[in-house]
């Protein structure tokens, strides 16, 4: 499994800390190759990360901006991507286990407790994909709608 990570200028500090944390825990963490600047635009990062994540169903992505909202909106425009904006461990769990999310968006200015962010990321990575029929049915409806 590859964990792709990207941020706009507002998420750079948190991205750096998360990358170190994930690598220390033996995960393959990859930046998406777009440099940050003071005037970068979050959609560019979200679209690129989404494209990389969808290349392999085992890949996951983490996006970081100030609120997590813009990144999640943009990522959800990429076919095959379901992105949860996580503010809690429960959001991270349900996003993946109930909604089949393969990308998580974080807000560096919203969730400032690094230990909580680590717990959310760990939960997202380690939670099993949706397997209950009711969740799979709903995910299928979303996937079918994407085909329009």
The answer to whether residue 98 is catalytic is yes
CA–chain centroid gap for 69, Å, is: 12
The catalytic residue among 7, 9, 83, 98 is 98
Sequence-ordered alpha helix ranges (H) in 1-147? 12-24, 42-53, 69-75, 89-97, 114-126, 133-146
The catalytic residue among 7, 65, 83, 101 is 65
CA distance 50 to 70: 14
Which residues have a Cβ under 8 Å from the Cβ of 98 and sit 6 or more positions away?
Answer: 130, 135
The answer to whether residue 7 is catalytic is no
Q: Provide the edge-to-edge strand list for the sheet that holds 103-107.
A: 28-31, 2-7, 60-65, 103-107, 83-85
Catalytic positions are 65, 98
């Amino acid at each position: 499994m590859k964990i792709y990570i990207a941020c706009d200028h507002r998420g750079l500090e948190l991205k750096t800390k998360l990358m170190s944390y994930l690598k220390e825990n033996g995960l393959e963490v990859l930046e998406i190759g777009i440099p940050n600047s003071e005037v970068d635009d979050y959609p560019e990062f979200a679209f690129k990360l989404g494209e990389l994540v969808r290349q392999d169903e085992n890949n996951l992505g983490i996006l970081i901006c100030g609120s997590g909202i813009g990144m999640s909106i943009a990522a959800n425009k990429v076919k095959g991507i379901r992105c949860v904006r996580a503010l809690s461990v429960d959001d991270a769990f349900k996003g993946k286990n109930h909604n089949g999310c393969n990308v998580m968006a974080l807000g560096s200015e919203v969730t400032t407790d690094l230990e909580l962010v680590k717990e959310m990321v760990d939960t997202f990575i380690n939670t099993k994909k949706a397997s209950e029929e009711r969740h799979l049915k709903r995910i299928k409806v979303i996937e079918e709608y994407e085909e329009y």
